[in-house]
Amino acid sequence: MLENKTILITGGTGSLGTALTKRLLKSKVGTIRIFSRDEWKQTKMFEELDDSRLRFFIGDIRDKERLSRAVEGVDYVFHAAALKQVPIAEYNPFEAIKTNVYGTQNLVDVCLDNNVKKVVAIGTDKAASPANTYGATKLLMEKIIISANFFKGIHKTSFVCVRYGNVLGSRGSVLPRFIEQISNKGVITLTDPKMTRFTITMNGAIDLVLRALKNGNGGELFVPRLKSYTLEELKNAIIELSGKKVKIKKISLRPGEKFHETLISGDEISQTYESKEDYIIFQQSIDKISSLKKLKYKKTKLKSAYISNKNNFISKNQLKKMIREEGYF
């Protein structure tokens, strides 16, 4: 599917964009275009990967003209660009809207104008029952991407979304922060040990994105089947791996931070189907979706919202194994 194809990754120098690029370079992909705002990150990525199939575009998805130039001749787009930090979005809501909402609208327009084959947009658990600015803007991002399948007219572009929670070890996540705190001062700042999160590795996130590219026909929102963990178990796993004596400092929740993650809201259950690896949410008439017959999706067995505290939990030893596999310790 990717052989000799031209790929564009918005936000391509971020955690997911970089990891996705590395995975794609292992295939027979033709060209990968990295679209992002940070020239220093692009420089470091260029030096690290050193592959002739890479092209680097400085630009912002807010700039429709620049984005249109970057999309020319592209087969598939992975849309990962966003303002993602919850507290920053709370204090700068207008900026989050400009990037996450208006920027996505720009992307839809230029992909249709350039007849891109398929767009896979990267969502977040915070878009399900949003309780903060970031989640609200990402919910609108999902709505814009999915609804693009309705108004595309004669264009053949297909638009699909994925939705997952915090990636274990991604930039700004709790795992590297805990490890850094242990190394620097031996003190972990912890909000509440009972707080829960879905667990997904970077490789798991990339697998999901590529499944959406392969299986999505347009209009689907893919959610992976995941296990959960508590911050208490994550903290204990990291401390045991470090082999150090660590003090715990209690802090309050950050502005807009959720206590538990929600990947599928209660209102979405009636539109949710499932496969062996994923839940698939349809936001248009089921009768018009060919994916159901083609891939034999079944109506989900979920009876209520898919929430991290009402889920199967991963053990501490499994967490320790995953942390090691991510390259820590």
Which pLDDT value is given to residue 129? 86
Average pLDDT (80-92) is 93
pLDDT at 214 over 70: yes
- Residue 131 has a pLDDT of 87
Q: Is residue 189 in some structural domain? A: no
Query: What is the per-residue pLDDT for 230?
Result: 93
Closest CA to 78 of 136, 35, 30: 35
- Amino acid present at 234: L
| Amino acid at position 14, single letter | G
- Residue 81 inside a domain? The answer is yes
What pLDDT is recorded for position 304?
93
Contact (Cβ atoms closer than 8 angstroms) between residue 176 and residue 243: no
Judged against a pLDDT cut of 80, whether residue 263 lies above it is answered with: yes
Q: Which amino acid belongs to residue 81?
A: A
Task: Tell me which of 165 and 66 has the higher pLDDT.
Answer: 66
What average pLDDT does the segment 234-252 reach?
Answer: 91
> Cβ(210)–Cβ(270) under 8 Å?
no
* pLDDT tops 60 at residue 286: no
Which of 84, 118, 126, 138 is an active site residue? 126
Q: Give the residue numbers spanning the domain of 283.
A: 6-165+202-225+263-304
What confidence score (pLDDT) does residue 116 get? 97
In a domain, 240, yes or no: no
Rounded to whole angstroms, what are the CA distances from 196 to 53, 155, 165? 40, 42, 11
Q: How confident is the model at residue 224 (pLDDT cuts 50, 70, 90)?
A: very high
What's the average model confidence in pLDDT over 141-169?
92
Choose among 57, 64, 63, 45: nearest CA to 7: 57
Instruction: Please report the pLDDT score of residue 287 as a whole number.
Output: 52
pLDDT at 295 over 70: no
Q: In the predicted model, what is the mean pLDDT of residues 158-187?
A: 88
Mean pLDDT of the chain: 92
Specify whether the CB–CB gap between 227 and 204 falls below 8 A: no
| Number of structural domains found in the chain | 1
pTM of the model: 0.92
Assess if residue 280 is contained within a domain.
yes
Q: What is the mean pLDDT of residues 304-315?
A: 93
Enter the tokens of residue 26: 């292992």
Long-range pairs for 242-250: beta carbons < 8 A, 24 or more residues apart:
242/179, 242/182, 242/329, 244/182, 244/186, 245/186, 246/182, 246/186, 246/187, 246/188, 247/186, 247/187, 247/188, 248/187, 248/188, 248/190, 249/187, 249/188, 249/189, 249/190, 250/189, 250/190, 250/191
Q: Residue 14: pLDDT band by 50, 70, 90 thresholds? A: very high
Considering the domain boundaries, does residue 236 fall inside one?
no
**Active-site residue, 126 included:** yes
CATH number at residue 107: 3.40.50.720
What is the average per-residue pLDDT within 178-188?
89
pLDDT at 72: 97
